[in-house]
Structure 1
């Protein structure tokens, strides 16, 4: 162990744990060491609160605190994002999507795999006076609770298992999970739920465009029969959400004469 790493452990050990709060040491942590101490405490879920002059947690972090004091690196947020594939859609990407979307006053819109509803919130704010149907589907329980608190209508959990509604959606906008070809499978399922004449706008990884995977190849071949557009999003569009994967926006319209 380096002298610097040992110093960080000593600073963490000098903190005081009281119920769901971690108080910093009574002495001032050197400026060169503080960023790593801060990162370690925030990594186990702490949020600095000026009023408390402490890092506050939703529950006692005792076990996690002992682990970082022993030098273990923990990043709960990154682990959560990796597990759930939750990489939220930022405003610059939403502004791009909006250029391709027209929403009638009586539209039925769906955000599958909605996360915390970044897409749904954006369009609800754009059309606050619309009496339209805005549905969300989300698997993660914590995110589902957040969506309900925001007043969104939850119509399913696992989108790939969600039953088709009696009537299709006029608009489907999504940022689905990408790993292991999930974006391709979600894309196909979205099309099944799209009403004739409807439009879907789906953020996808760029990998399906060159992948030898049979599902990706089938999608490329199938898209050739339809009007569609592929817009490459700027590199780093999801950096703030925790990933640098290259992404694109796929726009697809369902023909009016295609049965639902």
Structure 2
């Protein structure tokens, strides 16, 4: 299993040609690097500006953060990541982003956000729990952009929630369950 993961990481690095952050991870991790075109689309849909205070609650290798910084380099950004090795990587490579090490589901921010852009973990319905948690951290009138699984249960749960979310502008980007 570890050799397969190492090979996938090597191939990914070769494809990215140093254009996006890449870090080695343990096989048991749920980290899936969000492709740059998806990150760009998320950021475009979120209509971010340098005046925003943005949260990336499952920062991983920083793919979404990179798209945020490319679009709004002066925006205040916070990131949460549970993997301490990735936290070190993020702190070294994303100056000006406040990176917190911990479980997003237990993390307590000091203020609310104008934008939350995220690609949460998907297994066992975690995406919905993470999305609901993120929603609770929005300022009134904020813009929240989660990517959600295309699995039937996730779509149904997310659709019901999104249609009842009246206090913010909400959008969603469907990400296929298979991420090879």
Tell me the equivalent position of 1:141.
Answer: 84
SS at match of 1:155: strand
Match of 1:106 among 34, 51, 67: 51
Q: How many residues align?
A: 160
Q: What do the CA deviations read for 1:56-86 (whole angstroms, capped 9, x no partner)? A: xxxxxxxxxxxxxxxxxxxxx6x82x52211
Report the Cα offset of residue 123 of structure 1.
1.2
Tell me the equivalent position of 1:205.
Answer: 149
The within-5 A match list for 1:72-91 is 80=26, 82-91=27-36
**C-alpha distance in 2 between matches for 1:96 and 1:122:** 9
Tell me the equivalent position of 1:74.
Answer: none
Structure 1, gaps ≥5 residues long: 1-38, 48-76, 245-260
Q: Contact conserved, 2:49 with 2:72, CA < 8 A, in 1? A: no
SS at match of 2:111: coil
**C-alpha distance in 2 between matches for 1:223 and 1:127:** 26
Task: Let me know the Cα RMSD of the aligned residues.
Answer: 3.0
Larger Rg: 1
**C-alpha distance in 1 between matches for 2:80 and 2:67:** 16
The within-5 A match list for 1:52-67 is none
Structure 2, gaps ≥5 residues long: 12-23
Report the Cα offset of residue 148 of structure 1.
1.0
Report the Cα offset of residue 231 of structure 1.
4.2
Q: Does 1:223 align with 2:162?
A: yes
Tell me the equivalent position of 2:128.
Answer: 184
Report the Cα offset of residue 220 of structure 1.
3.7
Distance 1:137 1:46, change over 3 A: closer
Q: Given the two structures, how large is their TM-score scaled by the length of structure 2?
A: 0.75
**C-alpha distance in 1 between matches for 2:81 and 2:38:** 20
**C-alpha distance in 2 between matches for 1:146 and 1:154:** 10
**C-alpha distance in 2 between matches for 1:135 and 1:224:** 27
Distance 1:186 1:123, change over 3 A: same
Report the Cα offset of residue 98 of structure 1.
2.8
Report the Cα offset of residue 217 of structure 1.
5.5
The within-5 A match list for 1:148-159 is 148-150=91-93, 151=95, 152-159=97-104
**C-alpha distance in 2 between matches for 1:155 and 1:46:** 27
